[in-house]
Amino acid sequence: MTSAANASNTIDTQHQTSSAHSNAVIDKSGSALKLYLVTDRVMCQKLGLIETVCEAIDGGVTFVQLRDKQADDEQLYQMACELKEAIAGRVPLVINDKVHIAKKANLDGAHIGQGDLSVTEARQILGPDAWLGLSINTLSQLQHAHDHHLNQLDYFGLGPVFATDTKPNHARPLSISGLDNLAQASLLPTVAIGGIHLNNARKVYQTHCDGIAVVSAICASDQPKLAAQNLLQQHFLAQ
């Protein structure tokens, strides 16, 4: 084999290894959802999105969802690629709603809501191994997902638990008891989202949910690593 062919083969092998690493399934059990960060670029302005997320992972964040409703597809793709490189496979990285960008950027998966493309379409785009989460607010939505998409989904995002300014026009808050009812009924791992911060995280961790998802509790913090550590302390205290 020529040196040029050897070089080409080396590059191809490195690309395949890199691609496989970026989509490696770290852990699809509920423990992967213990501390789930949903990004907000505006809230992250002080340190920047990349530094905020990386510091939060250093503090114990176990899962990251890239969410930016203001960015266009090209901007979101660039953010996804930069964030993926910075995270370097330490935790799963998924994107909110934009399943085609998750596929293009070779992310670990996507999270979709009730009003987005169907679960079946999302799974077809992402392939069989990627993470796919679905937002749930009612028992009827949960039952429908159980009946029609159980083998296509990996987890449910349950919420909003409390009222939140992060997502305008959100559904009626579940409250702790409503959240626990959904979590107990779920056949898949669950992560609670909506208005969760340091002062109420322990109550949420005391439910049957596998984890909590936060936005401002980390993104708006001057010390994302410490914010993540403090939230995980609430998990420890809830046991």
Q: Do the annotations mark residue 108 as ligand-binding?
A: no
Residue 165 is assigned to a ligand binding site: yes
Distance CA 129, CA 24 (A): 9
Is 30 marked as binding a ligand? Answer: no
Is 179 assigned a ligand-binding role in the annotation?
A: no
Residue 226 in marked binding region: no
Establish whether 180 is an annotated binding residue: no
Check whether 12 is labelled as a binding-site residue. Answer: no
Does the annotation flag 129 for ligand binding? no
What are the beta bridge partners of residue 66?
95
167 labeled binding residue:
yes
Check the annotation: does 214 bind a ligand.
no
Find out whether 154 is annotated in a ligand binding site. no
Residue 72 annotated as binding site: no
CA nearest neighbour of 225 among 31, 67, 90, 54 = 54
Rounded CA separation 126/198 (Å)? 34
Residue 166 assigned ligand-binding role: yes
Residue 195 among known ligand-binding residues: yes
Q: Is 48 annotated as a binding residue?
A: no
Burial class (CB in 10 A: 0-12, 13-18, 19+), 157: buried
Biggest distance spanned by C-alpha atoms of the chain: 67
221 is in an annotated binding site: no
Residues 64 and 179: their CA atoms lie apart, in Å, by: 21
Q: Which residues are annotated as a binding site for Mg(2+)?
A: 97, 116
| Binding-site residues | 65-69, 96-97, 116, 135, 164-167, 195, 215-216
